[in-house]
Amino acid sequence: MQEDCPFEKIYPSALHRDADYFMTHAYNEAIEAWKKDEVPIGAVIEYEGKIIASAHNQSRSTKDPTAHAEILAISQAASFIGDWRLNQCTLYVTKEPCPMCSGALVIARIGKVYYGLPDPRMGCVGGALDLGALPDSNHNFESVSGVLQELNHDILKAFFEKKRQANLAKKQAARDEGTATPDN
C-alpha cells in the first residue's frame, strides 16, 4: 500500500552536478521510503559524475535490519563496477550513517561521504564517533556533514511525528474499546 507523503520530489538540473544535486536524488529516495511506510532515509552513490546506485531504507518491508539505504546502495555500486572496492565512489545519504553502515563504508573503501542530517547519538561518521578516521585503520575517508540538512531533517521529523500521532490514536482507540466492554 502506498502511504501519502506530504513532501514532493525535487528535480534539479543535471548541468550542475554538485553535492546538492546528488543529495537531492538521495532525498527523493527518502520520499520513496516514506511512501512504503519506511523511515525516510535515502542514499545514492556517484561514480565519474553519474549516479550508479540509488536506494532507500527497506528494513520494515523486508524484515531485514541490515536493509539500510547505504548498505543497499553499496551492493548496487559494487555490482555495477564489478569490484568490492569503491575508492572512486562518493556516497550521498540524507542522514549520518549508523555504526553498521559506517563500518560497511570503511570495508567498501568508499572515496568520500556526504550526509545531510548529523546524528550525534548513533552517527559514526563524525557524530558519536568517526569510523572513517580510525588512526590504525587500513582505510580512512573524508566526510562532509550538513548537505541540505534542513530538508533532510524536516522529512524525518514529520515522519516520526506522524508515527507518534498514529500511536496515540491507537492507544486512545484501545482505551475507548476497553470502556465499552460488558465487564464494566
For Zn ion, which is the closer residue by CB, 23 or 98? 98
163 phi/psi in degrees, rounded to 5: -60, -40
147 binds Zn ion (CB under 5 A): no
Q: How many chain residues are in contact with Zn ion, going by CB under 5 A?
A: 4
Cβ contact 142:113 at 8 Å: yes
> 29, 38, 70, 96: which one is catalytic?
70
Instruction: Round to whole Å and give the CA distance between 139 and 42.
Output: 24
Q: Which of 53, 77, 78, 101 binds Zn ion (CB under 5 A)?
A: 101
Instruction: Round to whole Å and give the CA distance between 158 and 34.
Output: 10
Binding mask 10-49 for Zn ion (x = CB under 5 A): ----------------------------------------
For Zn ion, which is the closer residue by CB, 56 or 68? 68
Q: Give the number of other CB atoms < 10 A from CB of residue 51.
A: 18
98 binds Zn ion (CB under 5 A): yes
68 binds Zn ion (CB under 5 A): yes
Contacts of 78 (CB under 8 A, 6+ apart): 84, 86, 108
Residues that bind Zn ion (CB under 5 A): 68, 98, 100-101
